[in-house]
Structure 1
Amino acid sequence: METIIVYVVRTPLRIAVAQPLTRSHDVEGNAARHADAVRAAAARVVVFPEMSLTGYELTAAPLEPDDPRLAPLRGACAETCTLALAGAPVPGPHIGVLAVDPEGVRVAYRKMFLGGAEPRHMRPGREPAVLDVDGWRLGLAVCKDTGTPEHAAATVALGADAYLAGVLESADDAAVPDERARRVAATHGAWVVTASFAGSTGGGYTRAAGGSGIWSPAGEPVIRAGADAGEVATGTLR
């Protein structure tokens, strides 16, 4: 019997983490600043923090994918052929990830593991999610998901090559995203991409950590942003 070996060659994936200035409940203004970040990143995929489109406001009205206030972000993604993964409350209500690309807007993921006051306002998502982009399998996560080992395990079990998360930590807990990213990468041999809020986000977070970054499958940081709002850091997965 002849043995056939198939080699899959993936194109390197240029990916960015963005921590835009966010104003609470200002969806239209936040979408415009997200659009600016997409254009500045010049990347195939841009990852944004948890609830980046509304600020961390648990009483914010859920965003529908066809909300006209998202037009600036939709336009930027169409112009640049970018997939933007933006944080927002979505119908349910859930803390969600909106996938914005040249085809439109859709809810790509709903946060599974809630913390703090979140269970009083939001429902947990039911299942992990993975997106296919240019031959890469990109798993999605939001904040506390990243600190829950079974979440990363379930996501990688779906064939994820990379684990992409939007997070929010206070400046006093700035080491937490790095610790979690290193652990997930080292445990599963996957790339980890974390977009972390910077500046004031609402919800009592007057000074968020920033420090968004990309970690290699060996658990080493490849690129990091600083602590300031408005920063974008871009790297390449190979």
Structure 2
Amino acid sequence: MRPPLTVAVAQPSCIAHDFGANAAAHAELVRRADARVVVFPEMSLTGYEFDTPAVEPGDPRLAPLVAACAAAGSVALVGAPVAGADGRSHIAVLAVDGAGAAVAYRKQWLGAAETTRFAPGPAPAVVEVDGWRLGLAVCKDTGIPRHAADTAALGIDIYAAGVLDNEPEAGVHDERARRIATGYGVWVAMASFAGSTGEGYDRAAGRSGIWAPDGVRVAAAGPEVGAVARATVDRKNPREKSARDVENRPAAST
């Protein structure tokens, strides 16, 4: 029998284009999260900056994050632009653990502005951790019913997404998470960008969360940079939790 899985959603600080500083911020939150899986927002490693260079999974600036994952025994699902075979970049999810980083998923459903720089990914994708299957998504993917259906068809336990919304749209990912959770009987973990970033996102919503298969949000972060929300996922007891299992961990200062 597979063990329960501790999942966290994190809202790191982000400096536009400063890959090294952002990787260090991710590493700090991995250490604080104390979770087997830590989900990060869309393009969290670089900021939502269309002119930022693509990230190479073997870049040595990822070393602090790899080391943090090794020490914590964590898998970090990180947002970053990556290079594509046709010369165009993709908005992607990197899976980072103590052995290194790899491209795990490329965003399939792009916003209109994103198509000027990025190409859509080819297919849904799953990462397996300790016998739990995590279907991956990035922002607009979560609002496309076909994406949820295609990803759920891969046999997932958790739908894990990195998203970015402005503060007035803070309720959007809550509505989408509930729809996906109850529609497919899966857990949903959404990490939402906090603070400010490029392309007009001056006040990102934050408010990351984790939803049980019945649609109830069992862990929630606030709007602040540095917040982490954490829950223990157990298919047998989706609502059972304790102060140790579910926590909101805001930063000491922002």
Residue 202 of structure 2 corresponds to 206
Please state if 1:235 is matched with 2:231: yes
- Percent identity between matched residues is 62
Residue 17 of structure 1 corresponds to 9
Please state if 1:34 is matched with 2:30: no
Matches within 5 A, 1:23-62: 23-62=15-54
SS at match of 1:126: coil
Q: Which residue type is aligned with residue 75 of structure 2? A: L
Match of 1:70 among 54, 62, 73: 62
Between the aligned partners of 1:116 and 1:154, the Cα distance in structure 2 is 22
TM-score (norm 1): 0.95
Deviation at 1:88, TM superposition (A): 0.2
Deviation at 1:116, TM superposition (A): 3.2
Please state if 1:147 is matched with 2:139: no
Between the aligned partners of 2:51 and 2:163, the Cα distance in structure 1 is 18
Matches within 5 A, 1:70-109: 70-92=62-84, 93-109=89-105
How big is each residue's C-alpha offset from its partner over 1:166-196, in whole Å with a ceiling of 9 and x where there is no partner? 0000001000010000000111111000000
Between the aligned partners of 1:222 and 1:165, the Cα distance in structure 2 is 16
Deviation at 1:136, TM superposition (A): 0.5
Between the aligned partners of 1:204 and 1:27, the Cα distance in structure 2 is 20
Q: Which residue type is aligned with residue 217 of structure 1? A: P
Please state if 1:169 is matched with 2:165: yes
SS at match of 1:31: helix
Match of 2:125 among 129, 132, 145: 129
Q: Deviating runs (4+, > 2 A) in structure 1?
A: none
Q: Which residue type is aligned with residue 9 of structure 2? A: V
Q: Which residue type is aligned with residue 42 of structure 1? A: D
Deviation at 1:10, TM superposition (A): 2.2
Between the aligned partners of 1:90 and 1:128, the Cα distance in structure 2 is 16
How big is each residue's C-alpha offset from its partner over 1:104-152, in whole Å with a ceiling of 9 and x where there is no partner? 1100000000003100000000100011111101100000000000101
How big is each residue's C-alpha offset from its partner over 1:4-57, in whole Å with a ceiling of 9 and x where there is no partner? xxxxx2210001000011111010000000000000000000000000000000
Deviation at 1:78, TM superposition (A): 1.1
CA-atom RMSD in angstroms? 0.7
Number of equivalences: 230
Segments of 5+ residues of structure 1 without an aligned counterpart are 1-8
Between the aligned partners of 1:183 and 1:143, the Cα distance in structure 2 is 15
